[in-house]
Amino acid sequence: MPKTMLRRRNSPDIGVTAKERAGNVGIYQFYELNHAVLAPWRAMADVTRLAFQNPFNPFAETPFGRSVAAAAELFERTTRRYGKPEFGLKDVEVDGKTVAIEERVVWSKPFCDLLHFKRDLPSERPRDPKLLIVAPMSGHYATLLRGTVEAMLPFHEVFITDWTDARMVPLSKGHFDLDDFVDYIVEMLHHLGSGTHVMAVCQPSVPVLAAAAVMAEDDDPCQAASMTLMGGPIDTRRNPTAVNMFADGKSVDWFRRHVIMNVPFPHPGFMRAVYPGFLQLSGFMSMNLDRHVSAHHEFFQHLVDGDGDSAEKHRDFYDEYLAVMDLTAEFYLQTVETVFIRHDLPRGEMRHRGRLVRPELITKTALLTVEGERDDISGVGQTEAAQSLCSSLPEEMKHHHLQPKVGHYGVFNGTRFRKEIVPVIADFIRRFAREDAKPLNGAAEAVRSNPREDYHARFADAMGFSALAVDNLPAVATDLNEIVGLGPAAADSLNEFGIFQVSQLAEMTSEAIEALQGEMSPHAGEALESWVAQARRMMGMSVETRH
């Protein structure tokens, strides 16, 4: 990478500095290197823990022995990478009886699996309403909603979106942005058929409302019977929180410069531009850093004191909380710009594939909004804003529930959620259940095995074979000669501005393109936009012009 600004002498700035891009790449590489370097020390700590917990060790039950074992476990847990958790739901009580649950993948695309929690119920039993739970794509896995799924299973046929970690998706599989998110929701509702109810938890409230508006405008027969929006950022201008205010005064280009990085080898998504999960986790933890430090200190004390139950609760919580996933750069940036910077949806300016999103056209999908009184992520009133946007819905098809004494996570998990919020949701769904709802039929048939059971694919991912697969090689090519129509003279011209790689060409903003066109030959200047579009397709990015 060049060490100077991407500009020629006496020329305007073009794009970002090479130093900035190299720095961002280096952060992700350093994160991976740090994890690898500490691996032997984690193994040593694990051996130490086992040794001092061994009943044949005379120090095992002494304060010294328990302290050493506790310190070893704390070190191992604070330096490991947490893998994707499992839902682990084996059974549920329905109609007073315990029934088995089978987890199935019933619909699949590169960036999402649709999971169905099939309950082993008699075929003659009346059907429960179909419920599609749209999990947030905000850094954590869908298993964060384990408690939500478990609470809804006794009353509904539950499906949930299981979003894929972007670093595990090869570039050859294409890009994924906010428009694709909306399309995925529409396709899943089509797959499940008419009469399906949809629940959006936090971040997906905006794309779910957009999908409902698009389907309403098309008079789609598979429009959701009802949608429940929970703690979502519909209008972040209302009671803005620290999370909302962080975006104030910043351009989308600021986020692109500071938090977007390329996935390092050997992950299957090698060279994909992403917003790394470890950055999101750092942001989450910094909001309540003292609480997390205290929790780990208490965990150490529980281990020393032999309080196994309290220690296990700590493990269960942090095994989930510290497991994070990467988001595609295009999805993250489009969401930040649309939802938090420009507030397009409440201002009536949000577009999907060029079409204006018009919530006022929704007339057949009942609306329930749920907020937490102490929510410090989506402030009170932000989700309720959907009520006024859906102006054509009669009042009897709209309801708002403000839950006292709960924060953001209490909106979809915990004791108050199970005892006070779930009955509200279940009653609302039953009230608007359609008698003509399409049976599941083939929609609940497994389309492939659970990814966790595909050991060949997991081995290929771990060894870097997926990243270097033949069909993925064109996507990670960095030679400008791969761009159709870009000859040696044009390549030399781009080189003068420090653009040597396809990835650099793909990252150019509309301002950078315009500035560079004035510095190139007329023919090359006219072709520049098409070259940038080609580069973005090769890098698995959206081809829409950036600003």
- Which of 385, 412, 435 is at the close of a domain? 435
Establish if 522 belongs to a structural domain: yes
CATH (domain of 364)? 3.40.50.1820
Distances (CA, A) of 106 to 120, 208, 438: 16, 20, 16
d(CA 71, CA 77): 10
Query: Using 50, 70 and 90 to split pLDDT, how confident is the model at 547?
Result: very low
Q: Which of 389, 418, 435 lies at the terminal end of a domain, its last residue? A: 435
For range 22-37, the mean pLDDT: 77
Query: Residue 163 domain-assigned?
Result: yes
133 & 212 share domain: yes
pLDDT given for residue 283 in this prediction? 82
How confident is the model at residue 334, as a pLDDT? Answer: 92
pLDDT at 16 over 50: no
Q: Work out the pLDDT band at 256, boundaries 50, 70, 90.
A: confident
Q: Which of 204-218, 250-264, 353-367 has the lowest mean pLDDT?
A: 250-264
Answer whether 168's CB lies under 8 Å from 195's CB: no
Mean pLDDT on 98-111: 93
Question: Where is pLDDT greater, at 79 or 496?
Answer: 79
Q: How far apart are CA 339 and CA 235, in angstroms?
A: 8
Mark whether 496 and 431 lie in a shared domain: no
CB 371 within 8 A of CB 231: yes
Task: Name the residue with tokens 């397709």.
Answer: 537
At residue 461 the predicted structure's pLDDT band, cuts being 50, 70 and 90, is low
pLDDT band at 306 (very low <50, low <70, confident <90, very high): confident
Looking at the fold, whether 366 and 481 belong to one and the same domain comes out as no
Same domain, yes or no, for 356 and 476? Answer: no
Query: Residue 368 carries which DSSP code?
Result: E
One domain for residues 486 and 409? no
Q: Which residues of 274-297 are buried (b: 16+ CB within 10 A; e: fewer)?
A: bbbbbbbbeebeeeeeeebeeeee
Whether residue 453 is contained in a domain is answered as no
Work out how many domains the chain is built from and give that number: 2
Average pLDDT, rounded, for the chain: 85
**Looking at per-residue confidence, does 68 or 2 come out higher?**
68
Q: Are residues 368 and 420 in the same domain?
A: yes
Residues contacting residue 421 through CB under 8 Å, at least 6 positions apart: 370, 401, 403, 411, 412
193 exposed, middle or buried (CB, 10 Å; 0-12, 13-18, 19+)? middle
Banded model confidence at residue 489, pLDDT cuts 50, 70, 90: confident
CA 175-149-236 angle, to 5 degrees, is 55
d(CA 374, CA 372): 5
Confirm whether 321 is domain-assigned.
no
For 343: left if phi > 0, alpha if psi spans -120 to 50, otherwise beta; the answer is left
Q: Final residue of a domain: which of 435, 459, 494?
A: 435
pLDDT: which is higher, 311 or 536: 311
Q: Is the pLDDT of residue 437 over 70?
A: no
125 and 230 inside one domain: yes
Q: Do 141 and 224 fall into the same domain? A: yes
**What local confidence, expressed as pLDDT, does residue 14 receive?**
40
Residues 128 and 218 in one domain: yes
The answer to whether residue 405 scores a pLDDT higher than 60 is yes
Which of 366, 409, 319 lies closest to 136, judged by CA?
A: 409
Tell me, yes or no, whether 373 and 497 share the same domain.
no
Q: Is residue 299 part of a domain?
A: no
On whether the pTM is more than 0.95, the answer is no
Percentage of the chain lying above the pLDDT 90 cut = 52
pLDDT band of residue 13 (cuts 50, 70, 90) is very low
pLDDT of residue 7: 44
Q: Which pLDDT belongs to residue 160?
A: 97
Confidence of residue 522 (pLDDT cuts 50, 70, 90): confident
pLDDT of residue 270: 85
Instruction: For residue 520, name the pLDDT band (cuts at 50, 70, 90).
Output: confident
Worst-scoring range by mean pLDDT, 38-42, 192-196, 462-466, 487-491?
Answer: 462-466
Q: What is the pLDDT of residues 136-181, one digit of tens each?
A: 998 899 999 999 999 999 999 999 999 999 999 988 888 899 999 9
Inter-residue contact 206 to 345 (CB < 8 Å): yes
The sign of the CA dihedral 495, 498, 499, 503 is: positive
Average pLDDT value for residue range 403-420: 94
pLDDT at 239: 92
Quote the pLDDT of residue 459.
Answer: 57
Yes or no: say if 397 and 366 are a contact pair by the CB < 8 Å rule: yes
Residue 538 has pLDDT above 70, yes or no: no
Q: Of the candidates 443, 520, 441, 452, which has an alpha carbon nearest to the alpha carbon of residue 487?
A: 520
> Is residue 266, in this structure, part of any structural domain at all?
no
- CA 487 centroid distance within chain: 39
Cβ burial, residue 80 (10 Å; 0-12/13-18/19+): middle
If asked whether residues 493 and 392 sit together in one domain, one would say no
* One-letter amino acid for residue 405 of the chain: K
Instruction: Indicate if the pLDDT at residue 22 is higher than 60.
Output: no
| CATH, residue 483 | 1.10.150
Residues 418-427 have a mean pLDDT of 96
Q: What is the pLDDT of residue 10?
A: 37
Q: Please state whether beta strands 226-230 and 197-201 pair in parallel, antiparallel, or not at all (unpaired).
A: parallel
For residue 161, give the 3-state DSSP assignment: strand
Domain enclosing residue 173, as ranges: 92-245+339-435
Interatomic CA distance for residues 458 and 100, integer angstroms: 28
pLDDT at 17 over 50: no
Same domain, 148 and 228: yes
Q: What is the pLDDT of residue 36?
A: 86
Which residue would you say has higher pLDDT here, 536 or 478? 536
Residue 45 lies in a domain: no
Q: How confident is the model at residue 236 (pLDDT cuts 50, 70, 90)?
A: very high
* pLDDT at site 287: 76
Q: Is residue 203 part of a domain?
A: yes
Cα dihedral 157/451/330/198 (nearest 10): 0
